[in-house]
Structure 1
Amino acid sequence: MIPNYYEFQNSAKLLSGERALEHIPYELEIRGCKRPMLLSDRVLERFGTVQTVVDAFHESGLAFAAAFLDIPADSAIAVVNEAASVFRREQCDCLVAVGGGSVLDTAKGVSMVVSHQVEDLMAFTGCESMDRGNHVPFVAIPTTAGTGSEATLVAVIKNPEEKVKMEFISHFLLPDVAVLDPRMTATLPPRTTASTGMDALCHAVEAYTCMQRNPVSDSYAISAIELIRDHLETAVTNGRDLKARLAIANAAYLAGAAFSNSMVGMVHAIGHALGGVCHVPHGDAMTILLPHCMEYNFDLLGERYGQLYYHLAGPEAFLAAAKEDRGRLTIAKIKEMSAKFHDLCGLSVTLSQAGVKKEDFEAVARTALNDGAMIVNPKQVDLKDVLRVLDAAY
């Protein structure tokens, strides 16, 4: 069914495949950039991932004017402001971000601050609080295959004082160029591969079922699910399989573009709260919460979930199942995938395994209800509903 009106934007140019990194200098050149700033973290520096990107620039003669590598796993407001200060001091003119969701979201935060010539990211709290400003070209190079931040208009950045993960949403946050190079995820550990891959699956499922879904976002979400179905287990068990790595990187990109337009719902609202209050890694939270939130939404979304069974389990399984059973079978299939990755690499499938304490449930639930993702969940959610989901996931 086509909505009476919808919007879809996916303006990032995609570079995907072998030696994709080596094409970045050209993309910067045609945008008039001469002093790029590199953003990443110390772990990727230690693993040699940052050097791989630097080496890819060597033949072009373009060099980084500055590097900011002190981005933590959960980036925060102060980190963004500090990186923006370095950008200005070194007179940089574009951003090249190498990392997972925290690094890419930090780069989006830096872009907000420097393009509008402000000192503090908190100047952009609120809804529709930002125009384009002075555009800062931005290249996103993901080193995990899950967040999809390289294709989204969302930045999630922690406010440690309030113990919340703040969402900044604007079409002006979309990168100019997204780079999917299998070298960037080849050394990702199995558990992280599984966690981020399940994060991408969650993005696709919520994109397919949330209130702003549309035919274009549906097609992206379905493609992501099929790539995850066919390649995630291989990427987890044989990380040096670059075909599987590239497939999952594309799945994360597709799912990111899908949910960036259709939005996500209660899985992410509760997941953000678990990250802010209990420090649960985002992908782990998505893995744990997805089937339980699907159960909560089932009375409204059962038929949509049933449609996904074809793409998640394959045509033979779909045709063998009765129409009225397919929605429940989709949830069962997701639980089966999670359990398999728990057995293969120790991925958490319950809140207790993730170290969450029941005494934190109330704070998590109240935080989740104030999360913007809850607004577009197809079914209204109150405090008791969130607490029931947390209990079921424990």
Structure 2
Amino acid sequence: MSGADHYEVLNVERTASAAEIKSAYRKLALQVHPDQGGNAALFRLVQEAWNTLSDPAKRAAYDRSLDRSADRSADRQAPAPPPPPPPAPEPQWTWSTDQPWSTDHSGPEEPVVTEPIGPVLIYPTFGQWRIPGLVALLVYTGLIVTILATTSYHGFWDYAFAVATASMLVVALPPHWSRRIPLHRLFKGIGVLTAVGYLVALFVDPDLNGAGRALVVSVAAGMVVVRVCTGLWSKNHALDVAIDRDASFEFNVWGRPGEPLVNDALSAPISSYDVLLQRRTANLLSPVLNALPAAKLIHGAQLEAMVVDHLLLNGHRAALILSQVAPPGTYTVDPYGGLQLDGQPVNSAAPALELAVEAWRGRLRPVDVRGFLILHPEPDGRISAQPRADAAVTCLSARFAARDLTSWLAPEGGKVDRKVLYDILRRAPYGLR
């Protein structure tokens, strides 16, 4: 950690202003200060980053050193004498029946690139029941108003009949409108009883002629039909409010790395070290969002008290992501869900991630949910991963994580399912169905 990038430590860009750096330092210092239960080593890193970046002269010198380091890295990648013949490449494997998903990590790192996937498509579409619901409500309102206007009123029971008939309109209104009416539950109860009374009149009133019977059926059955249309309108309205048009099309990130999506005190506290690790992983996931415009990244996605670091959603594929720092070597997930380093079992978050995958699969039934454990190498270390096609959890080298995640999510194209996104953001954290 001693060679950590000062900008990465403070979680700011190199172009950040002095005010942004100061604000980031103050917030992070409160989190990692030993007096607040933080880590002394991390606090020294934060303090060192602040001492350098807060001084314009020191910051300029530090930026120049970063540029020189980048130049030296580029020089080291200059053409060299032909290397000995490489070993035979590892066989590719197929993640799904229709999409080959290569995990050959023997070559140099490649940028994340994808073919154009077309426009972003939102399902269900915005306001799809608004017009049918509004038209049905207007027609039904006209019918009720006609009945009230053509009725003669001579006493208390005539006025009571008018109020009861008008109450049927409250039942027919979309719920997000009717909730604004005082005593709406009382009027809805009266309206339902009135509709039942209209139907009973079909069998007990011998004076009803054919036109009268048709009117009674239209009033009672029409209320049910209109209520179904306006109910679907109101249900989609809830999606529009929670995940509005701009958010579905343009907003790609919810939550913050190192924090649960819902601060309800149910999830376990996150150490300062893990916060920095999750920020580092979040930076790796940014290229995935650039390559897949419809992909959504939820930090701290929560299913009741179960929290995962990151959840990447694209169409009907969801990647649950945890990360850890690991020594160099070759990693794979064994048939029992444990992580192995060069064939030997090691402690990891893989079993917990597998449990999270099973829980989210039960929650998001139309979605293909997979777990990905991203392994960050120790300083000067190199990690390779050997995924298994039949495993619920796949380990990925941080060096190739963006490329591999993009490859797995890309077959869904540019689709956003608002119901799934709404479930992840608004209902799953509270266990609602």
TM range (shorter): under 0.3
TM-score (norm. length: structure 2): 0.22
Who wins on radius of gyration, i.e. which is larger?
2
Q: Which has the higher strand share?
A: 2
